[in-house]
Copies of this chain bind each other. A is one copy, B any other.
Amino acid sequence: MSPKALDYESLNENVKKVQYAVRGELYLRASELQKEGKKIIFTNVGNPHALGQKPLTFPRQVVALCQAPFLLDDPNVGLLFPADAIARAKHYLSLTSGGLGAYSDSRGLPGVRKEVADFIGRRDGYPSDPELIFLTDGASKGVMQILNAIIRGEGDGVLVPVPQYPLYSAAIALFGGSLVPYYLEETANWGLDVADLRQSVAQARRKGITVRAMVIINPGNPTGQCLSAANLREILQFCYQENLVLLGDEVYQQNIYQDERPFISVKKVLMDMGGPMSKEVQLVSFHSVSKGYWGEFHLRVLMLQTVDEIYKIASISLSPNVPAMIFLGLMVNPPKPGDISYDQFVRESKEILESLRRRARIMTDGFNSCRNVVCNFTEGAMYSFPQIRLPPRAIEAAKKAGKVPDVFYCLKLLEATGISTVPGSGFGQKEGVFHLRTTILPAEEDMPAIMASFKKFNDEFMEQYEDHRGYSRM
């Protein structure tokens, strides 16, 4: 009998390719070890709440009230909820048509889109049009919808940074397009070199590929860098010249751990440049409530903003989920000075951000204290991406074991310490250079022990595989 439609061999090849890219050997091994009873430190996914980060109180109060609107009529409601949370819940319920259980406009609740537009206006200093804001269930979904609209087939290319967050490679594979890589420069703090970009495009064109779009991730995942305004200007200029849609993934805009290079939105940079360009460049940018100090994963909503005619692209999905939209409203409109919940809100969010800043420092310093490890400081986002300089004998040993060298290293790290990371090859890296990615999310008090355990493993590993003949270490 011929294979059936859901038999593996007869599935859509694009879907199979995607599967290959996202399901890592490392994650599977870590899950196995956990089942066997080993304590695993999951630093492989940016999942703050799973690692103990507490949700912010105020938004959770508001959403709980919206979930159970009959509480608003209960005379005891004031015993459990502060008055400003009650007022906000009433406000958001009034923006829905039938509470949390009803469909809304497929672009999202108009009232929330208005609040988002106001936020963008305040952030950038330029008015933003609510009609150009789309809310989706997670930035991932928004990215996929746009790429689906842009990619017509193999001949369409999308410029993606290397290393990159694999959502992009997965989506491009799924829609059958061509990924056109450009390299971030590790020695320039993971900055972006426009000369390099030009080369990538030229090379793709020689292969017959029409480059249609470019992705930037700022702050970067996995690289943690913040792009400078100058760099963003060059990128915009480039997209203008080359007629590319620019997809600006800015989901980590609240996660900044230094003061030299604050977050600046690509939209603001474009508007600052002015002229015909600011009207011509097709820009789509993404934000999410799953990051920042919110980390409300289940409430991912995209704020998609664009200066051009993306509103012509219909959404085939029904409307985004309403609690998520309320969270988004609260994120762009947090309690203000004088509100009952203001002090608590500020205290809670500051605690989270300041602790992340300290953790970023502990991690970077920890990695840089290790033999053959160099690591740029995590300027933003939630990740550390150290380079591991594997000795030739380690690379040989990996080959013998049938493993990619960084996978080999990360598996040994996992077995020895329980630290579950993602090998750099999952994000792309230059030929012959190796990395791993961890999140900076483990609890602050556990951090020193984790880094000590990493250092012990790493330094022993290097000791074992280094060719001592060339060294004068004794």
Contact = CB atoms under 8 A, between A and B. Distances in A.
A256 B13 CA distance: 40
A322 B65 CA distance: 17
A354 to B, nearest CB: 20
Contacts of A312: 8
Contact of A101 (B19, B23, B55, B79): B55
A308 interface: yes
A400 B29 CA distance: 68
A336 interface: no
A299 B50 CA distance: 22
A411 to B, nearest CB: 21
Nearest to A57: B70
A151 B140 CA distance: 22
Contacts of A50: 97-98, 102-103
B22 A245 contact: no
Contacts of A323: 67, 298, 323
Contacts of A49: 98-102
A157 to B, nearest CB: 10
Contacts of A103: 45, 47, 50, 297
B64 A74 contact: no
Nearest to A312: B8
A70 B2 CA distance: 56
Contact of A321 (B22, B100, B284, B299): B299
A11 B97 contact: no
B12 A150 contact: yes
A362 interface: no
A356 B396 CA distance: 70
Contacts of A148: 12, 15, 174
A155 to B, nearest CB: 12
Given A49-B100, A137-B321, 12 more contacts: A4-B308, A8-B312, A12-B150, A15-B148, A15-B314, A45-B103, A49-B99, A64-B71, A71-B80, A100-B296, A102-B298, A171-B316
30 contacts: A4-B243, A4-B245, A4-B308, A5-B212, A5-B244, A6-B282, A6-B284, A6-B306, A6-B308, A6-B310, A7-B309, A11-B149, A12-B150, A12-B152, A15-B316, A18-B316, A45-B103, A47-B103, A49-B98, A49-B100, A50-B98, A50-B102, A52-B98, A63-B67, A79-B80, A101-B296, A137-B321, A298-B323, A321-B324, A323-B323
A46 to B, nearest CB: 9
A401 B173 CA distance: 45
